[in-house]
Amino acid sequence: MKRILVTGAAGFIGANLVTRLLKKCREATIVGLDNLSAYYDVELKRYRLKLIEQQATTSANSWMFVEGSIADRGLVDKLFATHRFDVVVNLAAQAGVRHSITAPDEYIESNILGFYNILEACRHSYDGGAEGVKHLVYASSSSVYGANDKVPYSVDDKVDSPVSLYAATKRSNELMAYAYSKLYNIPTTGLRFFTVYGPAGRPDMAYFGFTDKLRRGQTIEIFNYGNCMRDFTYIDDIVEGLYRVMQRAPEASASRAAATIYNIGNSQPVNLLSFVEVLQEELVRAGVLPSDYDFELHHKLVAMQAGDVVATYADTTALERDFGFKPQTPLREGLRRFAEWYKAYYIID
């Protein structure tokens, strides 16, 4: 891993991965690409980039950031031609299940066209020898399991019932990657992430949005009357899984392409109402909320939302078998770190 491209480098997972690479790699060139989309607070993305820059000053590796979109074919091709990447990690995407209902064009542009551009760039760089991309790792999502009633979700399950356009684009990525692996012998690995959370995370995620509202004294809505279950996975566990997977590309067989998929989840789904109770306890402990905060007055149970699923639950057997790794950060510990970061970032006395 001497020449690495990370798309979505200013995003939550991307920024944490780049920081890990700067710490762990030796004499590597790491290029980050991100369009700094205004889907959520751009200042938070710039904050993450500053943390990367700080790490880069003490790293034995080279770091370069490029502002731009994977939907820009010319830019993508130029980056590949200039740097001749060994490993590509595509984390750039338009995220958010609910946003895909109201802004579908953004998902087609980034998640379909953008991913196609990455595949094409890998295709034209890969010649089966030392000069081409040796491994493409890309972000999928637990959303691809859609209306699947069987839990825990296994990578061997059928995933043909998406309940949102976002989920459909992520499943499309998996199929596109497999086709390119089969046709052009490009090793690809897709990672289905399960509800990632942690410090400097995405403000559109429930734990972050709930915190913002509770801090303002507003009422939060807990969907499906609190009966949804989510497999919350701490950011450090996600990055550890990514880092391990990057270093081992799948191999083709007589019957299958050099393409594989893994779940990365904590495998301990939590009831949403219980999750929110732990969150508010940690927010009180960190001083984000006052010690006498009355949680009962600031939440209400409401019906299911369009695009949502009742439960997510990762079967990580394949990840454990192939990489000896399983996410295991306890929810309370992860939320404690988030609460402490939130207080410091927003300078709460």
- The residues assigned a catalytic role are 166
Closest CA relative to residue 199, chosen from 19, 8, 63: 19
8-state DSSP, 38: T
Position 26, amino acid: R
Q: What is the distance in angstroms between the CA of the first residue and the CA of the last residue of the chain? A: 44
Q: Which tokens hold the place of 138? A: 């890309």
From 148, 146, 172, select the one nearest 93 (Cα to Cα).
172
Whole-angstrom Cα distance, residue 69 to residue 92? 8
**Pairing relationship of beta strands 299-301 and 220-222 according to DSSP bridges:** parallel
| Residues pairing with 228 in the sheet | none
Q: How far is CA 213 from CA 96, 139, 202, 229, 299, in A?
A: 19, 29, 15, 21, 10
Question: What would the DSSP string read from start to end of 94-121?
Answer: ---TTHHHH-HHHHIIIIIIIHHHHHHH
- Identity (one letter) of the amino acid at 48? R
Would you state the torsion angle of the CA atoms of residues 215, 281, 340, 211, taken in this order, to the nearest 10 degrees? -30
Q: Which residues pair with 263 in a beta bridge?
A: 192
* Cα gap 263→315, rounded to integer Å: 7
